[in-house]
């Protein structure tokens, strides 16, 4: 079979899905790691080829079993989700390349096989959510992602990983129910599940109460999954208690994929402007996003654990993204996508560096990490530069995304939101300073630790270079964000 783009789209999901049972059968730690890295590399390459082909616009479609829409399941790749697939593949590869020593320390050898199975299923699920054009199929992939995520968190080294995973499971299941109700209403209204077909059929019935309720349920369900304040309850414990590799992966991808799903449904499937008016959602979302920024940043300030500090900061950063997306304008969406891209890079780097500290000291408690900047200078430097990115200081990519977000907010006349942006950045400066002060200025506690092994340094170091690189030369992420915003607003 020739490898046409429409076959490559299927490969994207089929490769990790196929490698997962292989991992289970082999059940050897090293072989599992090799297999999952191989799968992640294949997915990344496939996604890069597809995204490069779509750079000038257009879409790639695949109809499963040759069933024409709206009967069969269709996959659809365009300027919005092709780059997202690249990011999913890339971060999974990066985290896998980084994580072997950390995994060996945190997990018993007999559990590593299962770990890689779950990781591959998670990868397949996220890519599926990104690719599919069938709304029920999207739900199934959301569940594949979530179920494997619960297991990944439960495998954490801490005794408190289990309650964290249980809490995540409860909140995730409630979210799944809400998403299902939304899908059920839309199905009852249109009698179709194909998202392109559904959009056409929804034309006349957009304003009915059923459609509005469906949208409300989908927003609450997906909002729980992407942890918008006040539905963020699961996030801090999960990021703190999961194995370091999983925390880094989730910080980079988990919430972003669900945010994408919500955007796809609200902007491209439904008439977002109409529904936003009906539910006053622009006001609701910007108030929630503003509250997320303030709450997340203030909560991060009082944390005594590095990972939970970063987790609360993630809640704040999700607020910025939602702030951009809630504008529904071209510049708002562009700023949101740019923020998504840069924040995934910055937060993943921070969690990888935090993983390095955990590998050497066995804990992420700030009090135990005092003065480690001198024993682990490279890791501490990475944390410092990525921390600058979190605040939004030059020359990092964080500045570019905040700059564009502020521009989009000003353009829409949202002065209070700009104020929140500045306050949030000030608070971010405080909690990043707290982290850096502990690492560099506090007296060492007499640890005899050495710098992390080379692969665990190279990956985050490379990403730090990217943070600075995209700060100085931001044309590439900007072009992607612009294309994605255009494709969302003017669906082909």
Partner 1 sequence: MSVPGPLHFLVLGALMFCISVAGLFINRKNMIVLLMCIELMLLSVNMNFIAFAHHLGDATGQIFVLFILTIAAAETAIGLAILVVLIRKRDTINVADMDQLHG
- Which one, 135 or 399, has the nearer CB to partner 1? 135
Return phi, psi of residue 61, to 5°.
-120, 145
For 393: left if phi > 0, alpha if psi spans -120 to 50, otherwise beta; the answer is: beta
- Which one, 148 or 464, has the nearer CB to partner 1? 148
- Which one, 221 or 389, has the nearer CB to partner 1? 221
Least distance CB 411 / partner 1 (angstroms): 40
- Which one, 20 or 169, has the nearer CB to partner 1? 169
Contact residues for partner 1, defined by CB under 8 A? 136, 140, 143, 147, 150-151, 154, 159-160, 162-167, 169-170, 173-174, 176-177, 180-181, 184, 187-188, 191, 193, 236-237, 240, 308
- Which one, 50 or 154, has the nearer CB to partner 1? 154
Least distance CB 172 / partner 1 (angstroms): 8
Least distance CB 116 / partner 1 (angstroms): 17
Take residue 94 and report the two structure tokens written for it. Answer: 């990066």
Residue position matching structure tokens 């990790």: 16
Least distance CB 308 / partner 1 (angstroms): 7
- Which one, 244 or 303, has the nearer CB to partner 1? 303
Q: With helix as H, strand as E and coil as C, how does 31-97 read?
A: HHHHHHHHHHHHHHHHHHHHHHHCCCCCCEEEEHHHCCCCCCCEEEECCCHHHHHHHHHHHHHHHHH
Beta bridge partners of 77: 60
- Which one, 187 or 295, has the nearer CB to partner 1? 187
Least distance CB 191 / partner 1 (angstroms): 6
Report the alpha-carbon distance of residue 24 to residue 22 in Å, rounded. Answer: 5
Least distance CB 198 / partner 1 (angstroms): 13
* Nearest residue to 219 (alpha-carbon basis) of 188, 183, 195: 183
Least distance CB 173 / partner 1 (angstroms): 4
- Which one, 167 or 402, has the nearer CB to partner 1? 167
- Which one, 214 or 267, has the nearer CB to partner 1? 214
Least distance CB 174 / partner 1 (angstroms): 7
- Which one, 63 or 187, has the nearer CB to partner 1? 187
Q: How many CA atoms lie within 13 A of 298 on its CB side?
A: 8
Least distance CB 305 / partner 1 (angstroms): 9
Least distance CB 160 / partner 1 (angstroms): 5
Helix, coil or strand: residue 194: strand
| R_g (Cα) of the chain, nearest Å | 21
Helix, coil or strand: residue 305: strand
- Which one, 78 or 305, has the nearer CB to partner 1? 305
The residues near 470 (Cβ < 8 Å, ≥ 6 apart) are 342, 345, 397, 400, 476, 477
Least distance CB 233 / partner 1 (angstroms): 9
Helix, coil or strand: residue 27: coil
The residues near 56 (Cβ < 8 Å, ≥ 6 apart) are none
Contact between residue 73 and residue 137 where contact means Cβ atoms under 8 Å apart:
yes
- Which one, 132 or 240, has the nearer CB to partner 1? 240
Least distance CB 367 / partner 1 (angstroms): 16
Least distance CB 276 / partner 1 (angstroms): 25
Helix, coil or strand: residue 231: coil
Contact between residue 390 and residue 465 where contact means Cβ atoms under 8 Å apart:
no
DSSP annotation of 223 reads H
Cα diameter, the chain: 70
Q: With helix as H, strand as E and coil as C, how does 345-390 read?
A: HHHHHHHHHHHHHHHHHCCCEHHHHCCHHHHCHHHHHHHHHHHHHH
* Nearest residue to 96 (alpha-carbon basis) of 123, 78, 71, 75: 123
The residues near 325 (Cβ < 8 Å, ≥ 6 apart) are 259, 263, 285, 332, 333, 336
- Which one, 177 or 492, has the nearer CB to partner 1? 177
């Amino acid at each position: 079979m020739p490898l046409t783009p429409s076959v490559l789209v299927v490969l994207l999901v089929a490769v990790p899905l196929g490698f997962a049972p292989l991992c289970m059968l082999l059940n050897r730690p090293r072989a599992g790691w090799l297999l999952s890295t191989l799968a992640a590399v294949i997915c990344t390459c496939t996604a890069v080829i597809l995204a490069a082909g779509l750079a000038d616009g257009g879409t790639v479609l695949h109809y499963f079993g040759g069933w024409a829409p709206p009967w069969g399941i269709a996959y659809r790749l365009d300027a919005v989700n092709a780059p997202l697939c690249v990011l999913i593949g890339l971060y999974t590869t990066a985290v896998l390349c980084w994580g072997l020593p950390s995994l060996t320390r945190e997990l018993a050898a007999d559990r590593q096989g299962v770990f890689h199975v779950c990781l591959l299923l998670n990868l397949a699920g996220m890519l599926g959510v990104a690719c599919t054009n069938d709304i029920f199929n999207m739900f199934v992939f959301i569940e594949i992602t979530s179920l494997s995520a619960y297991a990944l968190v439960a495998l954490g080294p801490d005794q408190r990983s289990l309650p964290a995973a249980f809490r995540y499971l409860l909140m995730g299941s409630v979210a799944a129910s809400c998403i299902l109700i939304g899908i059920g209403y839309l199905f009852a209204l249109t009698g179709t599940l194909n998202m392109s077909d559904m959009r056409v059929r929804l034309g006349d019935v957009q304003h009915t109460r059923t459609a509005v309720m469906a949208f409300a349920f989908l927003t609450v369900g997906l909002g729980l999954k992407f942890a918008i304040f006040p539905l963020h309850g699961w996030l801090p414990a999960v990021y703190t208690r999961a194995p370091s590799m999983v925390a880094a992966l989730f910080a980079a991808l988990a919430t972003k994929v669900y945010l994408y799903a919500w955007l796809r449904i609200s902007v491209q499937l439904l008439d977002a402007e109409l529904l936003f008016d009906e539910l006053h959602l622009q006001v609701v979302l910007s108030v929630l996003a503003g509250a997320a920024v303030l709450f997340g940043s203030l909560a991060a300030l009082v944390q005594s654990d590095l990972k939970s500090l970063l987790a609360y900061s993630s809640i704040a950063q999700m607020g910025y993204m939602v702030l951009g997306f809630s504008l529904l304008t071209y510049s708002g969406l562009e700023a949101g996508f740019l923020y998504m891209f840069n924040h995934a890079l910055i937060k993943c780097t921070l969690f990888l560096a935090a993983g390095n500290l955990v590998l050497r000291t066995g804990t992420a408690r700030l009090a135990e990490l005092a003065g480690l900047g001198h024993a682990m200078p490279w890791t501490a430097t990475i944390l410092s530069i990525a921390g600058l990115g979190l605040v939004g200081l030059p020359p990092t990519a964080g500045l570019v995304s905040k700059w564009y977000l502020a521009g989009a907010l000003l353009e829409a006349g949202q002065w209070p939101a700009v104020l929140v942006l500045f306050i949030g950045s000030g608070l971010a400066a405080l909690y990043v300073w707290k982290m850096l002060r502990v690492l560099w200025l506090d007296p060492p506690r007499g640890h005899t630790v050495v710098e992390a092994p080379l692969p665990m340094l190279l990956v985050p170091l490379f990403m730090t270079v990217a943070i600075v690189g995209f700060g100085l030369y931001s044309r590439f992420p900007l072009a992607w964000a612009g294309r994605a915003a255009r494709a969302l607003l003017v669906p082909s």
